[in-house]
Amino acid sequence: MASYLLRRLLVTFPTLLGVSVLVFLSLHLAPGDPALVMLGPKATATSLEALRTELGLDRPLHVQYLRWIGGVVSGDWGRSIQLRAGVLPLVWERFQATLILAVVAMIVAVGIGIALGVASAVVAGSLLDRTAITTTLIGYSLPPFFLGIVLQVVLGLRMGWFPVTGMYPAGGGDFGDLLTHLVLPAVTLAAGIGALLARMTRATMLEVLRQDYVRTAQAKGLTRRVVVLQHAFRNALIPILTIVGLQTGYVLGGAVLVEQVFSWPGIGTLAINAILARDFPLVQGVTLMVAGTYVFTNLLTDVAYTLVDPRISYQ
């Protein structure tokens, strides 16, 4: 296991390096002038040239990239062109907000999705099973921005049960305020993932429940609960873990629409604003953070395989 982890960590660096090159080139080769965006259309040629020199935009692309990636390695991710602040503190502050939302959403999605999938498989063909299939199909089909708006209108504005925007009330708040603000965006983000997990869990459990060792366990007189949870569910966990790992990476990097709908101050909102302003250093910082998190999540998923199924070895 130790040698496998070392190999995976060594592969991580060229992966992130390749991502940084692609992002850097896609941003710098796209049309538009960051200096013109910052100074406006009435800026003089002299002021534009001075700002390009200050930002290093007048240098060759490879020089700009080497200068930037060297700073990243040393902990200096550059300065935001638009916000005039360090990129790393900005990205880290927003990433924490996205991480809170993502963790809560995944807890809701995994808890409800897996429980619904297992129950649906155990009573396949029943009213519960048919209801679960219909519900998960609707949950997976609804666009997050549409579901978020519906929840805002119904549960937030009409019922008044939950706040509809922000992470805290105006002027700040405590942990309880954070939890109430989390409900709607977390449910919106968890709906599609939970539906996917429920359908995957149901399909995998149905396949496992037909295996000979499950029938043998039943023939030995073991209770239905023991057969389902200790024999069938454990052997169905590998594909479920795969989906959980992939969806965790998606939640961290793909919660942009949900953050926009609920004005959640996360990394997705920061990325959109940075792209619109052509803030190269900030976009690059956001992309590196998301890519690094996604790679790390996949590594944890692979490690979890060995904990669930000891037969798996990475020697």
Give the domain ranges of the chain. 87-308
Q: Would you state the pLDDT for residue 58?
A: 77
* Contacts of 43 by beta carbon, 8 Å cutoff, 6+ apart: 35, 36
Query: Both tokens of residue 235?
Result: 């052997």
Residue with tokens 């939890």: 179
Query: Which CATH number does 87-308 carry?
Result: 1.10.3720.10
Instruction: Give the number of other Cβ atoms within 10 Å of residue 289's Cβ.
Output: 22
Tell me the pLDDT tens digit for each residue of 300-310: 877 777 777 66
222 CB-near residues (< 8 Å, 6+ apart)? 231
Asked if 137 and 220 touch (Cβ cutoff 8 Å), the reply is: no
In angstroms, the CA 288 to CA 17 distance is 9
pLDDT tens digits, residue range 191-250? 888 998 998 889 888 888 888 877 787 788 777 788 887 778 877 888 888 888 878 877
Per-residue burial over 112-125, b if 16 or more Cβ lie within 10 Å, else e, is bbbebbbbbbbeee
Positive or negative, the CA dihedral 206, 135, 110, 272 is positive
Secondary structure letter of residue 157 according to DSSP: I
Closest CA to 284 of 15, 78, 57: 78
Q: How many CB atoms lie within 10 A of CB 46?
A: 8
Hey, how many other C-beta atoms are within 10 angstroms of the C-beta on 101? 29
- In DSSP terms, 86 is beta-bridged to 79
58-80: pLDDT as tens digits: 788 888 888 888 888 888 888 88
Per-residue pLDDT tens over the stretch 113-155: 999 998 898 888 888 888 988 888 888 888 888 888 899 999 8
Cα–Cα dist 290/46, whole Å: 37
Q: Six-digit token pair at 105?
A: 């959403």
Residues 256 and 3 sit within 8 Å (Cβ to Cβ): no
- List the one residue out of 228, 198, 189 whose CA is nearest residue 133: 198
Its pTM stands at: 0.82
